[in-house]
């Protein structure tokens, strides 16, 4: 076992983990943060996307030990984030999900795109979401939802933290 200290959704954690456990398994099994979904488990689908030190990463490809001294944020940790709240609303209005399996990863990637000012056109949103696979929606409604949230943010009707 390896000792680690990290922050998860703002809480300081000191723990001991198996060196081989993935960040996704650690979050889901040890902390019950099951909003981090596991699809392909080899870095292709994006369902497991979380933020590590503010950057989107594949939790299935990251080791928990590699997050020592780092800050991890999952979809649960963004529950009260104003951009995420807006994204949830527009996903709802545009029917941007069906089974919902891809949705946490989609939302975290969309949140990152908006925060970095990259959700400026349909083409840019599609490029930014290239690492997130959805088997249900055909993407059109997801793109429309993100574009609406980005436009609202640009107009100042949302207040990004």
Nearer Cβ to ligand FES, position 13 or 61? 61
Question: In what helix (H) or strand (E) does residue 158 lie, and over which residues does it extend?
Answer: none
Place of tokens 């959805």: 134
Shortest distance (Å) from residue 155 CB to ligand FES:
28
Provide the minimum distance between the beta carbon of 122 and ligand FES in the complex, in angstroms, as a whole number: 18
**CA 141 – CA 114 distance, rounded (Å):** 17
Report the nearest approach of ligand FES to the CB of residue 110 (Å): 13
Q: Considering only the C-alpha atoms of the chain, give the largest distance between any 2 of them, rounded to a whole number of Å.
A: 50
Site residues, ligand FES (CB under 6 A): 38-41, 43-48, 58, 60, 97-103, 134-137
Whichever of 43 and 54 has its CB closer to ligand FES, that residue is: 43
Cβ atoms 159, 83 nearer than 8 A: no
- Alpha helix segments (H runs only) across 82-158: 82-93, 103-115, 122-128, 140-154
Rank residues 107 and 153 by Cβ distance to ligand FES and give the closer one: 107
* Residue placing its CB nearer to ligand FES in the complex, 84 or 101: 101
* 3-class DSSP assignment, residue 29: helix
Could you tell me the smallest distance in angstroms from the CB atom of residue 131 to ligand FES?
8
């Amino acid at each position: 076992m390896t000792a680690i200290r990290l922050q998860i959704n703002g809480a300081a954690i000191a723990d001991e983990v198996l060196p081989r456990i993935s960040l996704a398994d650690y979050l889901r099994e040890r902390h019950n943060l099951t909003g981090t979904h596991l699809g392909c488990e080899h870095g292709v689908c994006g369902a497991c996307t979380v933020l590590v030190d503010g950057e989107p990463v594949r939790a299935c490809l990251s080791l928990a030990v590699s997050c020592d001294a780092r800050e991890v944020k999952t979809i649960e940790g963004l529950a009260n984030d104003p951009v995420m709240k807006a994204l949830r609303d527009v996903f709802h209005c545009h029917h941007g999900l069906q089974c919902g399996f891809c949705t946490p990863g989609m939302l975290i990637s969309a949140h990152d795109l908006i925060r970095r000012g990259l959700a400026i056109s349909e083409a840019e949103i599609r490029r930014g979401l290239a690492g997130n696979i959805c088997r249900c929606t055909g993407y059109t409604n997801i793109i429309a939802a993100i574009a609406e949230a980005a436009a609202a943010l640009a107009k100042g009707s949302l207040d990004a933290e």
